[in-house]
Amino acid sequence: MSCIHNSPLPCFSASYSSFPRRNRCASFNPRVHCALGGTVAEPKSTTSTEPLLLNAVRGEDVERPPVWLMRQAGRYMKSYQIICEKYPSFRQRSENTDLVVEISLQPWNVFKPDGVILFSDILTPLSGMNIPFDIVKGKGPIIANPISETAQVDQVREFVPEENVPYVGEALTILRKEVDNKAAVLGFVGAPFTLASYVVEGGSSKHFSKIKRLAFSQPQILHALLQKFTSSMARYIQYQADNGAQAVQIFDSWATELSPVDFEEFSLPYLKQIVESVKRTHPDLPLILYASGSGGLLERLASTGVDVVSLDWTVDMAEGRRRLGADIAVQGNVDPGVLFGSKEFITKRINDTVKKAGKGKHILNLGHGIVVGTPEENVAHFFEVAKGIRY
């Protein structure tokens, strides 16, 4: 999974038909206290055979927090690096069904996490929306024609995932069969403001001056672009769910570059639209929202209507629980750098996070994606400790 482009990735743009293909085929809840006086809904007993992650999100009685890691597929794994040598382009790897499935299953085969996330990228839909892009080695994402005018927004097409990214649906269907409900299969999308940031800035940015100039001088242009991303991402989530995703994470990676008042204008309404649209057609699909550096926006993130707010590591888990309230699940939020520490240190931080989160409605995860160079044996230890926890 690649969702936030902090480091450059190689790219390849071509037809992938030459690659090998598979055969396709409102009730009262008593409260329990967690650390620092926060509360969570009393877990409900269940005999469900659904994946642990889904049961935890829904507030059912679970024996431990489910665990998976953002960016768990790829990056740090030796098996992934071997694939990269054979297929050096990120798009080559992420736009071919068989490679997507193989890479998505690599951490599942080794660590057996409770969530198996699709190997893809938040920018994957752009080509189908008539926004040419590339991911260039040494530079990262490059948008061929950054958007700044109404005429360019008019050229942006609505995303039709079944036509534009059929390999995503095919891969999710295969993953559901391979994982066989022993873990939840997860999809993901980029949030409208984050996608707009890339296409307006022309790629990654440090200061986001171009999109802020557009937002503050010609907001009608940005709103029109955001609306197109909103309807397209809602449809993309529905498509992923229809093809096997059991939960979907929304990445609003760059929304925290906005002040709270600007977040309320340029991000929040569009996130709410996505949630409302998806919940009309898929009311039981858990939606997870992640925004890095979101400590100043937690309450606003919760107001989107998502089922889970994923906390980054700069927020104390107990404080996050208290601020979000009892009825929303949380995900996170171990610092990815902890995985460079000793096994004793990793264990301590896991236990601290779980204690502060309290019992139930918690998905153990990192507060960001795994860092390149993370020792694979430390990832194995993380999962071993996490899966050994009992409430």
Task: Write the DSSP assignment of 74-141 as a string of letters.
Answer: STT-HHHHHHHHHS--HHHHHTSHHHHHHHHHHHHHHH--SEEE---BTTGGGGGGT--EEEETTTEE
pLDDT at 384 over 80: yes
pLDDT at 1 over 50: no
Residue 242: is it exposed, middle or buried by C-beta count within 10 angstroms (0-12/13-18/19+)? Answer: middle
Residue 16 pLDDT:
34
At a CB cut-off of 8 Å and minimum separation 6, what does 68 contact? 53, 113, 114, 115, 116, 117, 183, 186, 363, 365
Between 32 and 128, residue with greater pLDDT: 128
User: What CATH class has 52-388?
Assistant: alpha beta
Between 137 and 56, residue with greater pLDDT: 56
DSSP H or E segment with residue 217: helix 209-217
Mean pLDDT confidence for 60-82: 94
- Cβ-contact 264, 284 below 8 angstroms: no
Mean pLDDT confidence for 168-197: 98
Give backbone dihedrals phi and psi of 62, rounded to 5 degrees, phi first.
Answer: -125, 155
Reported as a pLDDT band with limits 50, 70 and 90, residue 137 is low
- The pLDDT mean for the chain works out to 89
Residue 19 pLDDT:
40
Q: At which residue do the structure tokens 């999710």 appear? A: 172
pLDDT at 6 over 50: no
Residue 121 pLDDT:
94
- 3-state SS of 68-91 is CCCCCCCCCCHHHHHHHHHCCCHH
Mean pLDDT confidence for 15-35: 39
pTM over 0.85: yes
Region for 199 from its dihedrals, namely left if φ exceeds 0, alpha if ψ lies in -120 to 50, beta otherwise = alpha
Lowest-pLDDT range, 74-83, 100-109, 122-131, 297-306? 74-83
